[in-house]
Amino acid sequence: MPHQLVSGQSGGTRMTSAATVALPPAITRLAALAPLDAEDMAALQAATAAGIRRIPARREVLGEGHPVPQAQIVLSGWACRVQMLSDGRRQIVSLMLPGDLIGMCRQRDPLASSSVLALTDVVTCLAPEPRQGQHGTGLAEAYAVSGALDELYLLRHITRLGRLSAYERTADLLLEIHERLTLAGIASGNMFPMPLTQEMLADTLGLTSVHVNRTLQTMRRDGSVSLRAGTAVLSDPAHLANMVDRRPPRVTSR
């Protein structure tokens, strides 16, 4: 069943074509957020052709406090927004997966309020400017929906950190990642790539890596999750989701 994200709209044809032909994840995702016409697709293709940027793992994509350049699209790899405390504590504030937008966060022009870090090797391209007018407006809508989703994830992250136990937090985050990767067409059913180290997970979940390790072991033991060698499998996402009170994201009313 395709992700019923945009309500009142089947999305069937788009998802089907994405599942059949292996489109780039970023395009799959944006096309799932809003209907893209030929012109939109062309703009995306052109953006890729115009030049991609490779950022090696552990390198900063955007420094904190530096002016935000034009928005970028993550083509592959995982990045994150991170805040550091002077004593070395670190909090990953949001994850950026293929198809996500970097630097368009919300309002234009604010300085980055956190630095953006590549968690794996990352490839990006500049996000094509959406057009005004009859054609090519799908992109603008996709960007808007993407932004709304970003906020949704941010809010859920807060609730996760504030009110869920270590086990619940971990389950909830894995569910979110699964959800998002599915949207981008990465993920085969309940299996998906999960390149984060336990320390990165810890910095996301507000835990120590030791405790993340123990929590994952518990999950493996009770059979809800298997996570090894960069690949995760959720044995029963719906059940897990129910357990942590996670509802499918709904963003637009049309």
Of 208, 226, 249, 251, which lies in the binding site for DNA, with binding defined by CB under 7 A? 208
Contact window for DNA (CB under 7 A) among 21-29, 132-140, 183-191, 192-200: 192-200
* Short-list 162, 64, 152, CA closest to 106: 152
CA 41 to chain centre: 20
Q: Distance between CA 118 and CA 51 in Å, rounded?
A: 18
Q: Which residues in the 116-175 window bind a second copy by CB under 8 A? A: 144-145, 147-148, 151-152, 154-159, 161-163
Which of a second copy, DNA, none binds 114 (CB below 5-8 Å, type-dependent)? a second copy
Q: Distance between CA 231 and CA 186 in Å, rounded?
A: 12
Which of a second copy, DNA, none binds 81 (CB below 5-8 Å, type-dependent)? a second copy
Q: Which residues in the 121-180 window bind DNA by CB under 7 A? A: 165-167
Q: Distance between CA 78 and CA 194 in Å, rounded?
A: 9
φ and ψ at residue 220, rounded to 5 degrees: -65, -45
Q: Residue 239, interface with a second copy (CB under 8 A)? A: no
Contact assessment for residue 115 and residue 63, using Cβ atoms and an 8 Å cutoff: yes
Cα 188 to Cα 5, 36, 46, 146, 207, distances in angstroms: 18, 24, 28, 22, 29
Give the residue with the Cβ less far from DNA, 59 or 228: 228
Closest separation in Å from C-beta 125 to DNA: 25
Which of a second copy, DNA, none binds 83 (CB below 5-8 Å, type-dependent)? a second copy
Contact positions toward a second copy, by CB under 8 A?
65, 67, 81, 83, 85-87, 89-91, 93, 105-111, 113-114, 144-145, 147-148, 151-152, 154-159, 161-163, 203-206, 245, 249-254
Residues near DNA, by CB under 7 A: 165-167, 197-199, 206-211, 213-217, 228-229
